[in-house]
Every structure is written in structure tokens, then in C-alpha cells.
Amino acid sequence: MIIAIFGLGYVGFTAMCCLAKEGHQVIGFDVSDKKVNQIREGISPITEPGVDVLLAQGLEAGLISAHTEIRDHIDRCDMAIVCVGTPSAPDGSHNMTFIAEVTRQIAVSIAGGARRTAPLTVVYRSTIRPGTVAGLIAPILASELGDAFETDIELVYNPEFLRESSAVQDYFDPPKIVIGTADGKPSARMDILNRNISAPTFYVPLGEAELTKFVDNTWHAVKVAYANEIGRVCLQLGLSASKVHEIFVSDTKLNISSYYMRPGGAFGGSCLPKDVRAMQYIAADCGAHTHLVDSLLRSNDAHKYRLLEQVSRGLPPGASLLVVGLAFKALTDDLRESPNIDLTRGLLQAGFRVSVFDPAIDASKLVGANLGYAYTQIPTLSRMLVDRQTAETTVYDRVVLTNATAKLLDLATFGDVIDIGSLK
């Protein structure tokens, strides 16, 4: 393919070199005369292992060129990849000036150029907030192209996952490929672009693709901050932070895995809330100042409230609900700090009529902390529990599934069902 790249910084220049290695003809654009002249002379504008060799090979093969003005170059292109910067504004939002201007230039070039026989696939790799392609980029293109926008442009959002010092390796061996399109369906040209790359590939609507980079980078920041907070606790207590880290990362079944990472219900039970509070106390007592850890319970409480809002939205006053699963874990009667207890209490306080199906719980057999927590929160618990037959034959305004207890019921008998264990 013939591919235009707008923005020859770290991401754009690396892409230029790697695409040329794949045999594509790459036409690069940048506002910097110095950068464009360096590329033409075979000098890499960035310091990154491997790009110098790829640049030299691409220039020798006649597959790389660099320019400051679009002119008519884009007329013969199959694809345009936008990699311009989106620097932070003072309020933390992204400054979209460069995105808007490059988009306008692309549109003007297409509108004033030769009639296209096939759409130009315009791919954005700059980090942009969800809604930017649909709410900013598409309107700019449509305003310049008019009716031709529908026939001359294929819009794609394709975030990059390059790390400094291993960018070339990451380009050809990425952890994943995420491709956002207007309808979430595959793009033939993107398939050609990635045909030699083996990685899990996700075709999704534009918004999900746009959010991907924020999710990834925020998680990486959380990991660093958490590791450093635990490291401070270790230092304050005279413990070996490296040894604690070695133990932690050795657990790839729970600690370093996808477990606990699926959006759904709040955390609870006999261990997590108790131990988070204890870690907060330990950190405060030794002066480690663990702000991330200190925020966990507040974040969890906020999530509980959000789930209550989700479950009760649209219900008339006094509506009847069936909560399926009261214990923190299905098939157990452990009610200690179960978020499902909090949800049920919230529904009762809102004036709804609530029944509970959880065959693992026998109110007459609850003892100790289970008994105390359950009846402190829900004094009428014994009257709310129903058996399977009652659950499946009663008509409820809404049924709320909280855990795997739902597998014990024939869900086909219910109408309005919400599964809070899986946020979609």
C-alpha cells in the first residue's frame, strides 16, 4: 500500500520505518523542516534502537519520503495514519489543536484533489478521549467533503503500544491489536496492514478503542504507585521490599493474572475489607503515607452506590425484587461484609419489596460474626429468604443476579434481569 503518516515524532517515525520494512511505500509529513531534512538525509530524528537501519533501508529502496506540505501526495495514498501530539491542557484534558488541524488539511487535500476510486482509510493513533473520532474528527471531514465524506473516507482508530527502547520490537510483536471502526466490523486495509503481525486482535466500536490506551496507562500507573507504597511500608518497618516483591510476583494464579480484573460487583467478604483497613493502619502508624491504598475502601463504597443506582433505575415505588445470592461467594453462608448485603439493605431503605434466594443460607444456623453482621444490616432477613420454587414461580418486577447462585435457577422464567456481576 501507499501510506501517508502525519506527525513524525516517536510514534509516527517508528511506524514509518517499520511499514517500509514491510514493503509499503510511506510518505511522511511534519511541520518541522529540520525533522524532514534529517529524515531525507538518513538521520533519525529520535534515538531508538533499530530505527536508523530501517530508515537507511527504506530510503535506499525508495519506500520512504518526507515532506512539510501535503500538496497532491495524498491523492495516490490508500491509507493515512495520524500520529500528531495531543499534549495536556492545564486542566488535564488533551489539547486537540493538532488533531483538528491535520484532519482539516487531509479533508482539504482530498476535496481539492483527484476524484478517488476507493476510500482513503484514515487511521488515528494519537491518544484521544472516547467520542473524539465521532464528535470532532468526523464532523471536520464531513464539513469539508460534504456528501463525498461517506464514499471517500473510512475512519479507524488504532492505538499504539510502543515502549521506548523497544519500539521496533513492539511494533512487530505487540501485546494486542485494537482496531476501532464505526460499526465495530473489520477493515480490509487494516487486515493488510497487520497481516504479518501475530497478536490478539480486537475489532470494536470507536469508543472502546479510544478508551483502551487510557485504561492501559492508568493501570500501569496504579501498579507503579502501589508497588512504591508497599515499598515505603517495607522501608519504614525495616523489611526487604525486594523480597516482598519477589513473593508477590511469584503468584501468577491470582496476583499477576486477569483474576479480579473483570468489572462487576464490589469487593467484600471476610478478608479484603479487613486487611485493607489493617494495611491502612500499619502504613499510617509507620508514616508510609499510602494514598492509593487509603482510597480503596472509598472507591469500593462508591461502586456499591453505583450498583444500587443501576439496579433500582426505572422501577416504580414499592416494586418487588428478587436478589439472587446474598453471601459474598456462592454456595457459602459467609455474609461478613458481603456487598450483596449492602445492596439489599439499600433496596429496602429505598422502599422496595425484596426477597432473597440463596439456598446456602439458613437464617436459623447463622452464628458469630455472620449472625451479627447479617441481622445488624438486615433485621428481617429470615422473612426475606425464599426457596427455589417460590423464586421461579413468583412474578417480580426485577431479578438481580449477584453471583454464581444464579446457576441454581431457571432464568428463563424471569423477565427483567440484571446481572451486577458483569458490567457490560
**271 is a catalytic site residue:** yes
CA distance 32 to 44: 14
SS3 assignment for 75-139: HHCCEEEECCCCCECCCCCECCHHHHHHHHHHHHHHHHCCCCCCCEEEEECCCCCCCHHHHHHHH
164-184 CB burial, b ≥16 within 10 A, e <16: eeebbebbeebeebbbbbeee
Q: Which phi and psi (to 5°) does residue 35 adopt?
A: -65, -45
CA distance 11 to 18: 11
Containing 226, the helix (H) or strand (E) segment is helix 206-237
CA distance 343 to 263: 17
Cβ–Cβ under 8 Å, residues 1 and 78: yes
The residue among 150, 160, 152, 151 whose CA lies nearest residue 180 is: 160
Among residues 17, 18, 83, 271, the one annotated as catalytic is: 271
Task: List, by residue number, the catalytic residues.
Answer: 271
